[in-house]
Amino acid sequence: MADVENFFKLISLSLIKYEDPRTKDWFLVQSFSPVLIICLVYLFIVKILVPKLVEKRKPVELKKTLIVYNFFQIGFSCWLFYGFASNGWLSGDYSFVCQPIDVSSTPKAMQMAAFTWWYYMSKLTELVETIFFILRKKFKQVNFLHVYHHTIMIVSGYVATKYYPTGHGTFAGLVNTFIHIVMYSYYLLSAFGPNVQKYLWWKKYITTLQLVQFVIVTTHDLLLVTSHCQFPRIFAWYMILLSLSFYVLFRNFYNQTYREKRVEKDY
């Protein structure tokens, strides 16, 4: 663990020139060490601890908890979407082609930075989903895609808040919060049980929306490396590679979950 931490410290030192002075002292932004610890603890809990605890127990009924949790996530996502939209992307002040990092301390710039931090915090609240899946013994849901997605998004939230809390990189937050409004609405309705679930025929289209999201975000970020936009190239490539990794994994999930089942039905 020490070697891994030292590796990330070396990366952090090389990126120090890009640190945003406005956010560098904010909670869970000062150092990468707490972020690394959170990710490792999460992996330990969901892969070792909780599965062992529930191994000989019956699935836990969490209907009321899931309704409250998903309702909270819908509200949180709506608020974040409004923040990214009103302080930048739908305010007329941001360019969809090239939006450098706004390093000023104007109210809108500080608000955008604050919403980026809150978006980062939202990724911590989403870790609870994995615990819910395990307690309900839905182990199939806790696959590599699920765990990778939740873990890397914490890292991504940290990177965004620390280095580009405003500007071009926040577009992903705008798109992602919209997708989450739809996704958590589905989860909320699904939590009401079989009487409602039979009407939720549109589940697979959520994955389709997620795939469209990654295409849009990747294309948007590619504009940074094909132009003279004053946005650090290192973070442009980081966002592109992150989106591409999600696209590949979600595409594979879509093919395995929906296309292969459709082929089986045809036979």
Question: Does the structure show a pLDDT above 60 at 267?
Answer: no
Confidence of residue 245 (pLDDT cuts 50, 70, 90): very high
Other CB atoms within 10 A of residue 32 CB? 18
Mean pLDDT of the chain: 90
Question: Does the structure show a pLDDT above 70 at 12?
Answer: no
Question: Does the structure show a pLDDT above 90 at 141?
Answer: no
Is 208 a member of any domain?
Answer: yes
pLDDT of residue 11: 67
> What does the pLDDT average to over 239-257?
94
Q: Which range is least confidently modeled, 35-39, 206-210, 263-267?
A: 263-267
Is 38 a member of any domain?
Answer: no
pLDDT of residue 50: 83
pLDDT of residue 61: 86
pLDDT of residue 197: 81
> What does the pLDDT average to over 231-245?
94
pLDDT of residue 8: 65
pLDDT of residue 122: 97
Is 34 a member of any domain?
Answer: no
Is 26 a member of any domain?
Answer: no
Is 69 a member of any domain?
Answer: no
% of the chain surpassing 70 pLDDT: 91
Q: How many domains does the chain have?
A: 1
Question: Does the structure show a pLDDT above 50 at 265?
Answer: no
Active site residue 146: no
Out of 149, 150, 168, 180, the active site residue is 149
Rounded-to-integer distance, Cα 121 and Cα 155, Å: 11
pLDDT digits (tens, 9 = 90+) for 26-45: 999 999 999 999 999 999 99
Give the contacts of 118 (CB within 8 A, at least 6 positions apart).
80, 83
Give the CA distances from residue 196 to residues 82, 164, 200, 265, in Å, rounded to whole numbers and listed in that order.
Answer: 29, 42, 7, 24
Give the contacts of 33 (CB within 8 A, at least 6 positions apart).
5
pLDDT of residue 266: 32
Range of the domain at 249: 76-266
Is 260 a member of any domain?
Answer: yes
pLDDT digits (tens, 9 = 90+) for 154-169: 999 999 999 999 999 9
Is 240 a member of any domain?
Answer: yes
% of the chain surpassing 90 pLDDT: 71
Which one has a higher pLDDT value, 266 or 175? 175
Is 14 a member of any domain?
Answer: no
> Residues of 99-111 as b/e, b for ≥16 C-beta within 10 angstroms?
bebbeeeeebbbb
pLDDT of residue 52: 85
Question: Does the structure show a pLDDT above 80 at 196?
Answer: yes
